[in-house]
């Protein structure tokens, strides 16, 4: 079982309008809602790949109930109830330009007793996990060093852990020595102070991460690992909706890790999944025929570290 942690879950609402104009009323032509938050997105892709996956984190209020009702049947639900209401994220899509305007609520205030209950539940869940993904922002009330503690719990249990967050939670989490850190270029630069990706990935490893896989958008992935350094790129520059592409990278890396694939194959899968996510007609899903076609067409260059 793969465990994904989303401490700040969300109900993602998407409104589609013919054209978005400030200071005017709009007629919404289409509304969709789905469970959101990075770890839930990762879990949805893992389940689609055929892996057993369980989600945990917090869910509260009427929004939390709707979120849980909308979880796919293939995803195990170990979300903990809280007094506060789960946040909503609202995306307004301009059908004329394809541009998206995003509004993100902060999330519920988590009390000390609720955080303690989560830590106990997490420790039990980790004991049965093959890998763990710690993803996304922290809701109010959760300590900024929360991910560092959760990384240490997983490592103590001998379970590989991937960390995908930003800012101070990332800086503290890296120091706890996660197996994989998956920042994008901006997050990596903020962590290390370097805007040169190769230098920044190496610096992030020196700060504690075992392996660093940097998302470079349409240019693919750059990985610095104990086994070597690689660059993975899609066959062509593609256009589409990048929403969820980073979460598909995390799902690709985790699924390949638990299957025992070598790093070049992990990176090829991750890039194929993220590219197929950009091409999908629904944001956050992936185009399966495109994914299957792309798997053999991803270019991976680099070298293994000499033993």
Question: Catalytic residues, which ones?
Answer: 247
- Render the burial of 129-167: b for 16+ CB within 10 Å, e for the rest: bebbbbbbbbbebbeebbbbebbebbbeeebbbbbbbbe
E strand spans, the chain: 2-6, 10-17, 30-36, 53-60, 75-82, 87-94, 100-104, 131-135, 161-164, 180-181, 211-215, 221-225, 228-233, 299-304
Sign of the Cα torsion 94, 98, 101, 104 reads positive
Phi, psi at 82, each rounded to 5°: -135, 165
Pairwise CA distance, residues 223 & 18, whole Å: 41
**3: number of Cβ within 10 Å:** 26
Vertex 85, ends 79 and 89: CA angle to 5°?
90
Vertex 33, ends 66 and 28: CA angle to 5°?
130
How are beta strands 87-94 and 161-164 bridged, if at all?
Answer: unpaired
Sheet with 228-233, edge to edge strand ranges: 75-82, 53-60, 2-6, 131-135, 161-164, 180-181, 211-215, 221-225, 228-233, 299-304
8 Å CB contact between 38 and 87:
no
Question: If we measure between CA atoms, which residue out of 204, 278, 273 comes closest to residue 237?
Answer: 278
């Amino acid at each position: 079982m793969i465990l994904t942690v989303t401490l700040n879950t969300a109900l993602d609402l998407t409104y589609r309008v013919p054209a978005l104009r400030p200071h005017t009323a709009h007629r919404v032509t289409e509304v969709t809602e789905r469970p959101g938050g990075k770890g839930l997105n990762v879990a949805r892709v893992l389940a689609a790949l055929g892996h057993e996956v369980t989600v945990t984190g917090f869910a509260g209020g009427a929004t939390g109930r709707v979120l849980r009702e909308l979880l796919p049947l293939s995803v195990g639900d170990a979300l903990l109830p809280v007094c506060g209401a789960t946040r909503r994220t609202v995306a307004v899509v301009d059908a004329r330009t394809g541009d998206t305007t995003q509004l993100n609520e902060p999330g519920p205030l988590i009390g000390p007793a609720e955080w303690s209950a989560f830590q106990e539940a997490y420790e039990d869940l980790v004991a049965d996990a093959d890998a763990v993904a710690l993803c996304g922002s922290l809701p109010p009330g959760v300590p900024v060093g929360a991910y560092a503690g959760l990384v240490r719990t997983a490592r103590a249990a001998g379970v590989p852990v991937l960390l995908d967050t930003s800012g101070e939670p990332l800086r503290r989490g890296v120091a706890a020595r996660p197996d994989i850190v998956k920042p994008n270029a901006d997050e990596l630069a903020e962590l290390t102070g370097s805007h040169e990706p190769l230098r920044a990935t190496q610096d992030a490893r020196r700060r504690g991460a075992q392996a660093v896989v940097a998302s470079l958008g349409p240019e693919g992935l750059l990985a610095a690992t104990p086994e070597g350094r690689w660059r993975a790129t899609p066959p062509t520059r593609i256009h589409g909706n990048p929403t969820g592409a980073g979460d598909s990278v995390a799902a690709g890396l985790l699924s390949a890790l638990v299957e025992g694939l070598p790093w070049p194959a992990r990176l090829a899968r991750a890039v194929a999944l993220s590219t197929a996510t950009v091409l999908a007609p629904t944001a956050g899903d992936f185009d399966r025929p495109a994914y299957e076609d792309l798997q053999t067409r991803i270019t991976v260059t680099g070298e293994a570290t000499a033993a």
